[in-house]
Structure 1
């Protein structure tokens, strides 16, 4: 029987069952197309004791992150977001040349490159060998490790305590919530700060963002459940910011429990919003599965109609979320002939499960399709600008989430 990984309760209730899919970042080479793929149940449940929404840990982080297909720097808006965070943190926390900043899951150095450029000592902790090497090539010192309490203690012993520990879009990716949080506490100075960005479950539920449910994401946080998770490792939530990233995220500011001040008015405000939405009880989750089914029907109706009318539809992007959507909807190359991605690592590969070819972005201008299905809908503003040339031949963009929308663009 599945038990809650945060509080150990057996009281878990179904939120949505998406069937079974392969891991979303295991893109296939051509040689693998005639081989079987393992699939795993994708069934989101919520604990009615601590209200942590979660998937069972069917795959290990080692299976996903030892070599990873996602490079943060291929999103211009995400690099800009990181740059602003660094600039604001320097002012907010009074960081200077003698400060020390650590980022956990530092990827290809997209954030710490700005810290290093400011003359502040920094270290990335990144388990993926290939993306960690990309960070080192940018001059960002990077340790190839997963964060555990022992790793955190070892880094502190060698490099000293961190004035700021950053953990962006990783708090959902670790099955051992308590151990990871203790690792954060071991890294941070006794008077330091921890900043965590993670998708907000409130946005996921309210805006039908079910494609962000995939096996890499072991849990999905409200501020209430994040507060409990932080406390499990000796950290206290003192402030929160609501962010537009990933369709709606929260930035959690935490400090060691021994010196943390009382939660800010912003924390109390977001907790009240979550309660009003019913996310501190089962009522808030009741209709989600029905709305997910509507997204699927709308997208399939559009694609099948376009195919019947002889219209061409291709994809833009090959993100993890896109693979949840494609697999749940049963979309194959007969409905989406290919997708493109800026990341050369994915070129010539195929999407897991649905086996849709992934090509270079230049292919869209060559083929001039009637429609471009935008899979990383969370980058809507950035990609609408990048893809404005589609309007030159009368092509249109299609956004599937939160509901199907077909958009005309001007070149």
Structure 2
């Protein structure tokens, strides 16, 4: 294995999560009688450029041609996108004469707010089913993967973009160098690029191992993201620390010739240096933190089973499947889970084969415990499930440490 950014062969093991199926390969009932393909899930660090990465064992085409994730099913995520469009429009002066391109635009959750403001825009979305959903709500969308050739064709047809948005996609690209050059190809010479990625600072410091899965090929600090963007002639000029996905970076980058980095760039770099993440030694504790999360969660679930408590799940996110497989949680410990996305109803989680139902199933069954798998959406989900306390039920969040959600209970047990 060579580093996909700098091609060094100096890669060291950080966390081995065993072998699991791809996290979005939800099973139809008929597939339960068939073998299931698994792939190693082993996080490594390049000692030369400090990029965290896993081997590219699956291709984007295998994952994204038809995709199970629709961004608009998270109310908080849609609000987050709306706020971004508002602030970007004000910061960059975007209007009816501007042009915005979003890469991996999903179901139009973000660009629909640009459409509402009359800002010309285009989504680039490889998933046929998800891109169709975006067009259905009035978001112009090209169904294609972004690479250097498609970027050149899009620029030739539509012109250069004043703003390119690439939220939660920069981790999903095995051809990191080519993709970065494609982002630059889309952008005007005085344009802006905005990227959101999970911050590896939180992954390492808080043991957020469930953000590791096969369609996430790399994991960024600001330090490693700067090195990656430099491949395309792009410089990070500003950075924001966000609370999304358990802690993310919003990177603002511009072509080198017009880049003027703000003070916040150095401030975040210093935060990473203080955490030890600018040397290989800073990554050594992640495996122990992941093991502690697993042991604590399994002890809790085993106590629930001994006490005769009924435990079900809420959500079927990709990160939840890493958690379930690494911990070895199956229907004997988690009877079923529910999800707001109808695409997943009647299917089963990959590897652990836990059935997925509509959310109404929780109200009908009134379980003792609801384990929330998308723990990063705690405020939103606690509000949605506040009524679980009416029958004395508990909400349990597994990360960053196992804890109960704040419910106002009417029944005490």
TM-score, scaled relative to structure 1:
0.99
Rounded to whole Å, the distance in 2 between the matches of 1:77 and 1:406 is 20
Rounded to whole Å, the distance in 2 between the matches of 1:401 and 1:282 is 25
Aligned to 1:91: 90
Rounded to whole Å, the distance in 2 between the matches of 1:380 and 1:396 is 13
Aligned to 2:355: 357
Secondary structure at the counterpart of residue 123 of structure 1: strand
Rounded to whole Å, the distance in 2 between the matches of 1:16 and 1:349 is 29
Aligned to 2:244: 245
**Cα deviation 1:178-221 (Å, max 9, x = unaligned):** 11111100001111000000000001111111001000100000
Aligned to 1:198: 197
Asked whether the 8 Å contact 2:204–2:285 carries over to 1, the reply is: no
Rounded to whole Å, the distance in 2 between the matches of 1:74 and 1:14 is 36
Aligned to 1:172: 171
Rounded to whole Å, the distance in 1 between the matches of 2:171 and 2:75 is 23
C-alpha RMSD of matched pairs (Å): 0.7
Aligned to 1:385: 383
**Cα deviation 1:235-291 (Å, max 9, x = unaligned):** 111110000000000000001112212x21111011011111111112211111011
In the alignment, does 2:404 pair up with 1:397? no
Aligned to 2:285: 287
User: Aligned runs of 1:113-132 on 2, under 5 Å?
Assistant: 113-132=112-131
Deviation for aligned residue 1:407: 3.3
1:371 to 354, 360, 369: 369
Rounded to whole Å, the distance in 2 between the matches of 1:264 and 1:283 is 28
Rounded to whole Å, the distance in 2 between the matches of 1:287 and 1:231 is 29
1:276 to 274, 279, 287: 274
Aligned to 1:310: 308
Rounded to whole Å, the distance in 1 between the matches of 2:257 and 2:382 is 47
In the alignment, does 2:227 pair up with 1:219? no
Aligned to 2:157: 158
In the alignment, does 2:68 pair up with 1:69? yes
Aligned to 1:335: 333
Secondary structure at the counterpart of residue 33 of structure 1: helix
Rounded to whole Å, the distance in 2 between the matches of 1:41 and 1:121 is 43
Rounded to whole Å, the distance in 2 between the matches of 1:157 and 1:46 is 38
User: Aligned runs of 1:34-53 on 2, under 5 Å?
Assistant: 34-53=33-52
Rounded to whole Å, the distance in 2 between the matches of 1:72 and 1:341 is 13
> After TM superposition, what 4+ stretches of structure 1 lie above 2 angstroms from structure 2?
none
Rounded to whole Å, the distance in 1 between the matches of 2:405 and 2:274 is 33
Rounded to whole Å, the distance in 2 between the matches of 1:252 and 1:404 is 31
Asked whether the 8 Å contact 1:391–1:408 carries over to 2, the reply is: no
Rounded to whole Å, the distance in 2 between the matches of 1:157 and 1:204 is 39
Rounded to whole Å, the distance in 2 between the matches of 1:178 and 1:316 is 37
Secondary structure at the counterpart of residue 28 of structure 1: coil
Rounded to whole Å, the distance in 2 between the matches of 1:97 and 1:392 is 50
Rounded to whole Å, the distance in 2 between the matches of 1:155 and 1:149 is 10
Rounded to whole Å, the distance in 2 between the matches of 1:108 and 1:268 is 35
Rounded to whole Å, the distance in 2 between the matches of 1:385 and 1:408 is 9
Rounded to whole Å, the distance in 1 between the matches of 2:23 and 2:351 is 9
Asked whether the 8 Å contact 2:161–2:187 carries over to 1, the reply is: yes
Aligned to 1:134: 133
Q: Which stretches in structure 1 are left out of the alignment for 5+ residues?
A: none
Rounded to whole Å, the distance in 1 between the matches of 2:221 and 2:291 is 23
**Cα deviation 1:349-368 (Å, max 9, x = unaligned):** 00000000000000001100
Deviation for aligned residue 1:408: 4.8
Deviation for aligned residue 1:96: 1.0
Aligned to 2:206: 207
Rounded to whole Å, the distance in 2 between the matches of 1:120 and 1:294 is 48
Rounded to whole Å, the distance in 2 between the matches of 1:40 and 1:364 is 33
Asked whether the 8 Å contact 1:395–1:408 carries over to 2, the reply is: no
Rounded to whole Å, the distance in 2 between the matches of 1:5 and 1:338 is 38
Rounded to whole Å, the distance in 1 between the matches of 2:160 and 2:406 is 52
Deviation for aligned residue 1:406: 2.5
> How many residue pairs align between the two structures?
409
**Cα deviation 1:98-151 (Å, max 9, x = unaligned):** 100000000000000000110010000000000000000000010001100111
Deviates more, 1:23-32 or 1:398-407: 398-407
Aligned to 2:104: 105
Residues 333 and 189 (structure 1), Cα distance of their counterparts in 2 relative to 1, 3 Å cut: same
Asked whether the 8 Å contact 2:206–2:289 carries over to 1, the reply is: no
